[in-house]
Amino acid sequence: MAIEDRIRERRTALGISQEYLAEQLGVSRQAVSKWESGKSSPDTRNLIALAGLFGVSVQWLAVGEQPATDSACALADIKCRRKKVTIILAVLLLSAAAVLLVIHLAPVDWDAGACGGGFGTWLFDKHSPHLTGVYGQTKEGYAFEALRGTQEVSWNGRTIILSFDIRYKTQDRGTVTDRVSFRGKRIWIEKYRWRIWTAEQETVQSEAES
């Protein structure tokens, strides 16, 4: 594309007439017509003025090697910024996902360390009401009581075993104490997915002794 084609293309794209362009540049309409027909070329001063009016670089208008318009440059810059923002967001999301995965897969030691030496007691106080209710569903019709001080806890990796005594009264056998163990899988900070592991009857007392 020659310089006359670029001048004509930009003028028509902007929707301005030769007369208006000539008026803005302080030249005759015939001069603009000669530029667009290739019969003459604008001098350096008019070339700079044309580039300013058209919103293009002087180099592109003269030889066609630069982006056609400032708006094109701006669009490219916006795309570049969007790409950078997208990359940053992707990195942040991946980092957040990695942190969440680390927390999810962390061993029970994370929770035990935070509770110092009283981890077994803390675990019993926090989870025994729920676990006792779960065990009670297997023996409906009784009032169950978790016995604090009987708890024992052990763990390996993300797996934890919590054992404690559960006491309840029956009409035919009196007060019964079962030793129940629950196996838990750590799924989050101080959160476990529990299930009954073992349950065995340790003592049977008569009503008179209770």
CATH number of the domain residue 21 falls in: 1.10.260.40
In the chain, the number of structural domains is: 3
When comparing pLDDT for 16 and 124, which is higher? 124
Together in a domain, 20 and 56: yes
Residue 15 predicted with pLDDT over 60: yes
% of the chain residues with pLDDT over 70: 88
- Residue range 45-63: mean pLDDT, rounded: 87
Q: Which two tokens stand for residue 37?
A: 């027909």
Q: What is the pLDDT of residue 150?
A: 95
Together in a domain, 18 and 31: yes
Residue 69 predicted with pLDDT over 70: no
Together in a domain, 176 and 150: yes
- Residue range 172-193: mean pLDDT, rounded: 92
Together in a domain, 78 and 147: no
Together in a domain, 41 and 126: no
Together in a domain, 53 and 83: no
Residue 62 predicted with pLDDT over 70: yes
- The predicted model scores a pTM of 0.57
Together in a domain, 142 and 179: yes
Please give the single-letter amino acid code of residue 26: G
Together in a domain, 133 and 202: yes
Last residue of a domain, one of 39, 68, 97: 68
When comparing pLDDT for 185 and 139, which is higher? 185
Residue 98's domain comprises 70-105
Together in a domain, 64 and 74: no
CA-to-CA distance for 128 and 120, rounded, in angstroms? 11
CATH code where residue 148 lies: 3.10.450
When comparing pLDDT for 98 and 139, which is higher? 98
Q: What is the pLDDT of residue 115?
A: 72
Together in a domain, 180 and 117: yes
Together in a domain, 150 and 196: yes
Q: Which of 49, 1, 48 is nearest to 21 (CA)?
A: 49
- List, for residues 99-153, the tens digit of each pLDDT value: 999 999 999 999 998 776 799 999 999 999 999 998 988 887 789 999 999 999 9
Together in a domain, 99 and 10: no
Contact 133, 114 (CB under 8 A): no
CA-to-CA distance for 70 and 63, rounded, in angstroms? 16
